[in-house]
Amino acid sequence: MDTYPSVDASPYQVFGAHPSTSGWVFSTPSGLRCQASLIADLGVFCTGPVPGTRGDVDYVAASLTRPGVLTRSDIGDLAGDPFPLLPTGAKIAAGNGVECAVISDDGLACLAKKPDSWSPDTPAPPDREYGEHGFVVRAQGSWTF
């Protein structure tokens, strides 16, 4: 992730009625529509055609507390206004612990970890474990961690 230049996150920022619906949104050249939550524990999720997966996979997500997933979702596409395009070769790192980079025209990599603003010894809540989780999606194959 360190090799990709960061975009200015402010054009991607959205404000919802609740902090869980606030954060940053972007689209990728391959048609994914993604939202990174202001709340670090919620991480990032994307809907749309997920490259490198079987045809019915339309949802990919990861967070500080959950390993990445590739699955079929019934939430549908993130509707509404078009999301600003995150260009190929750039990343968004808004300070919430989530970084996503468009690694190719058909690829996206996202990493969710403790925000840099948190102390390294910040304890996890009793019902969750903090960790570094993410996903890589691209036509040659997709995976999560």
Tens of pLDDT, residues 111-145: 999 999 999 889 988 898 999 999 999 999 999 99
Q: Are 72 and 55 in contact (CB under 8 A)?
A: no
Angle at 124 between CA 71 and CA 66, to 5 degrees: 5
pLDDT tens digits, one per residue of 8-60 = 999 999 998 888 889 999 999 999 999 999 998 899 999 998 999 987 899 99
Q: With 0-12 CB in 10 A as exposed, 13-18 as middle and 19+ as buried, what is 134? A: buried
pLDDT tens digits, one per residue of 47-68 = 998 999 987 899 999 999 999 9
Give the C-alpha separation, 53 to 70, whole Å.
8
Q: Quick one: pLDDT band at residue 78, thresholds 50, 70, 90? A: low
**pLDDT at 74 exceeding the cut of 80:** no
- Supply the mean pLDDT for the chain: 92
**pLDDT at 75 exceeding the cut of 80:** no
pTM attached to this predicted model: 0.92
Cβ neighbours for 34, distance < 8 A, ≥ 6 positions apart? 25, 26, 27, 28, 44, 45, 46, 47, 78, 83, 86, 100, 108, 110
Give the C-alpha separation, 46 to 48, whole Å.
7
Distances (CA, A) of 38 to 54, 57, 100, 117, 139: 30, 25, 14, 13, 29
Give the C-alpha separation, 3 to 39, whole Å.
25
Domain boundaries, given as residue ranges, for the chain: 10-144
